[in-house]
Chains A and B, each alone.
Chain A
């Protein structure tokens, strides 16, 4: 009898935990059309040494072989949608004289670490329009910079003026329900609570501004939801 009670209580606990964890929203963003060709980065000698073989290019349109479009910021929109601030900091690294990743999602109030993994110095220059701008030196091997953003802003641009080809974009939203598509165009937003949302897929180059991003209305229940998008490449 006691064992049955424990089993029932455990099942209820598991079910309630699953319910609060929510469902996943997955999907794929596909690029339609042919984007303009990317350009070689004009690396200086110090940075050039960090790329002994293949030279890096601009990363405006990162498209996979099957048409999947990478670096698309996908996030939910709904009035009052919030979530606990993740304890884990997001990381923006400077590696090979490039910001990695190129597109990053962040929650307001969440800690952002900016790292310099390069043997050269950089200046970390954030140029937001809503949040507060900063421009800080980061020497080779210097300690990580810690920053947070208080206001929603998609995107906050990061640049390095020492190496003017270096830039990254951070999408700051008030919750953790966001993702960035991988090189195959796939994304996964985990643990979305049940409800109706607008799902936004924003490609920085193709859409330019947030109001031009593609959207879908979705309803999230107990099971995973799938949503696919198509982004049109710019006419050349």
Chain B
């Protein structure tokens, strides 16, 4: 395999760091929503009238702690993203990577403004958009990190040897599953930003039944008997439908994740990088299902609910990377033929697709 020069190795490591930092930011954002602290700092971009970077630490109390640290951490991620874009601009062999780096900068700016507008305009809908865009931003950064990572070059060189005829189906399955994971995350964001707490408080049943009642009398009884220290909105029929939709889609998505993970193992081999990726995806969705159930059983405990969000983001990112691996493997032969029709199998393994890569 061609060796990356030390500078590019550092770029790859840095890109992974930015993606990891973004995952951390999603976790912090999850904590903000889980603790109901999204509006704890009523002004933006200032914090209680202070320049946000000068807000006294002694005042980081209660919900302010979550919201303010989220804002500060987001500023750091914004700065890291700009540095990544500049670095890619000078070091990425594929100019598309450099362009996507600047797209990431644009997204992080939009994301910051959305976060500010959610506070200034006091709209939950903007919160849903903010949470969803965060997931898309993580996927983009992860793919950028993948594009410059040495592991990617290793994996794509492997794919020539292990490619199976059914890979096109596996690719489509991974793509479909990843899109559904994203849809599931949107449903989850919509549920969380309703600020209604748990619309259905038991699992696997729902109010002791397979499908819960949603008539007005039942809802009034449920809301009247609901005692919580947080002032959640009253549960409505729509919230119950949303909750049940999230549960139903969870089973569909989990099944698809298991099937697509197994297919990746079969197509690339269990011990290959992609094969292990497929195994990890299956493990992750198992953890995610347990976390989803635990979120209900713990009455939506903030830490567990946030972990559920984080693992959901990991599922999406892994899905996007798995899809990219399948796609690269599918494209590999044609690109290989165009560039070096006479090469032998060994040199084929060393080939790095022109779509992703850095200057070696």
Contacts and interface: CB of A to CB of B under 8 A. Distances in A.
A208 B219 CA distance: 10
A165 B42 contact: no
A97 to B, nearest CB: 9
Given A139-B48, A235-B221, A161 B234 contact: no
A18 interface: no
Nearest to A37: B227
A121 B63 CA distance: 11
A139 B61 CA distance: 13
A205 B229 contact: no
Contacts of A64: none
Contact of B224 (A44, A121, A234): A234
Interface string A191-228: 00000000000000111110010000000000000000
A165 B227 CA distance: 12
Contacts of B119: 135
Contacts of B64: 121, 162
Nearest to A164: B36
B62 A208 contact: no
Name the residue in B38, B62, B67, B230 with the highest tally of chain A Cβ atoms < 10 Å from its Cβ. B62
Contact of B39 (A47, A125, A234, A236): A125
A14 interface: no
Contacts of A135: 39, 42, 119, 122
Contact of B43 (A37, A137, A162): A137
Contacts of B41: 123
B218 to A, nearest CB: 11
B42 A121 contact: no
A152 to B, nearest CB: 20
Interface in B26-77: 35-43, 48-49, 59, 61-64, 67
A219 B64 CA distance: 51
Contact of B228 (A39, A120, A139): A39
A89 interface: no
Contacts of B37: 161-162, 164
B231 interface: yes
Give the dominant DSSP class at A's interface: loop
B43 A39 contact: no
A162 B63 contact: yes
A123 B49 CA distance: 13
Interface of B: 35-43, 48-49, 59, 61-64, 67, 119, 122, 220-221, 223-231, 234
Interface of A: 36-42, 44, 46-47, 58, 60, 120-121, 123, 125, 133, 135-137, 139, 157, 159, 161-165, 167, 205-209, 212, 233-236
18 contacts: A36-B226, A38-B227, A39-B227, A41-B229, A60-B227, A121-B64, A133-B122, A135-B122, A137-B43, A161-B63, A162-B62, A162-B64, A164-B231, A212-B220, A233-B224, A234-B225, A235-B221, A235-B225
Given A44-B61, A205-B223, 17 more contacts: A39-B227, A41-B229, A47-B62, A60-B227, A123-B39, A133-B122, A137-B49, A159-B231, A161-B40, A161-B63, A161-B67, A162-B61, A163-B62, A164-B36, A164-B63, A206-B224, A235-B221
